[in-house]
């Protein structure tokens, strides 16, 4: 019991301790200030803006922001549903997984797009590597980025009451993904891999306990 209490206390201390520097870092990213990753990531960020076009990085009103959020996530929902349903005909499927039913695909995608990540199945026995990597994993990033972006848009709405603009959705999710989520995921991935937890595109391997 004491070990559990100490473990929980340690987790809370680390969580609260990290929330301060990470919170300051995210604030600087979302307000366009320079951070220690700016020199590395800035060229990639600028490249993204060139691809989406200048008109898509200008300030948005609340209605424009909502339309952008709904459009982006609707496209993600439809495309990921289709990906799961036709995965049997696509590559990176060494186990020969068949396409899922439409209702299972919709149930899964709706949860991942809304960043709840609820699953009614075991992903390793139902979904191919392709569906998991460019489907669910991508949504793990962009759905989280959307949640953070909407929160900042709400905060801007409260602070800038007289302003007609509350930011730009495309800029917000680009910055969150490039400066926050990807760097954090790389750190966590290295920690997990260092413990022997890896994933490849090979056939599944059966591991028995000694």
In a domain, 207, yes or no: no
Q: pLDDT tens, 155-165?
A: 988 887 777 78
Domain that holds residue 102: 7-53+60-186
In a domain, 191, yes or no: no
In a domain, 204, yes or no: no
Q: How confident is the model at residue 86 (pLDDT cuts 50, 70, 90)?
A: very high
Number of structural domains in the chain: 1
In a domain, 206, yes or no: no
Does position 1 have pLDDT exceeding 70, yes or no?
Answer: no
| CB-CB contact of 59 with 167 (8 Å) | yes
In a domain, 129, yes or no: yes
pLDDT at 177: 96
Q: What is the mean pLDDT of the chain?
A: 88
In a domain, 65, yes or no: yes
pLDDT at 157: 87
Predicted TM-score (pTM) above 0.75? yes
- For the segment 167-189, the average pLDDT, to the nearest whole number, is 94
In a domain, 210, yes or no: no
Q: How confident is the model at residue 204 (pLDDT cuts 50, 70, 90)?
A: confident
Q: How confident is the model at residue 27 (pLDDT cuts 50, 70, 90)?
A: very high
Six token digits for residue 132 = 């998991």
In a domain, 31, yes or no: yes
Q: How confident is the model at residue 210 (pLDDT cuts 50, 70, 90)?
A: low
Per-residue b/e over 125-162, b at no fewer than 16 CB within 10 Å?
A: ebbbbbbbeebbebbebbbbbbebbbebbeebeeeeee
Q: pLDDT tens, 126-151?
A: 889 999 889 999 999 999 999 999 99
pLDDT at 125: 81
């Amino acid at each position: 019991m004491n070990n559990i209490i100490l473990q929980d206390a340690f987790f809370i201390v680390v969580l609260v301790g990290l929330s301060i520097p990470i919170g300051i870092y995210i604030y600087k990213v979302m307000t366009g200030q320079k951070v220690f990753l700016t020199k590395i990531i800035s060229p990639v960020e600028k490249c993204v803006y060139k691809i989406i076009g200048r008109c898509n990085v200008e300030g948005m009103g609340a209605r424009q922001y909502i339309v952008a959020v709904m459009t982006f996530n609707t496209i993600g929902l439809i495309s990921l549903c289709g990906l799961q349903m036709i995965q049997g005909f696509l590559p990176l499927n060494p186990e020969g997984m068949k396409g899922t039913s439409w209702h299972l695909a919709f149930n899964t995608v709706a949860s991942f797009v809304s960043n709840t990540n609820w699953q009614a199945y075991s992903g390793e026995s139902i979904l191919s590597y392709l569906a998991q990597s460019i489907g669910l994993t991508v949504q793990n990033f962009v759905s989280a980025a959307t949640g953070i972006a909407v929160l900042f848009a709400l905060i801007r709405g409260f602070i800038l009451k007289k302003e007609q603009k509350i930011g730009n959705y495309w800029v917000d999710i680009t910055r969150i993904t490039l400066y926050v989520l990807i760097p954090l995921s790389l750190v966590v991935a290295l920690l997990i891999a260092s413990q022997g937890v890896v994933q490849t595109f090979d056939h599944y391997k059966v591991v028995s306990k000694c």
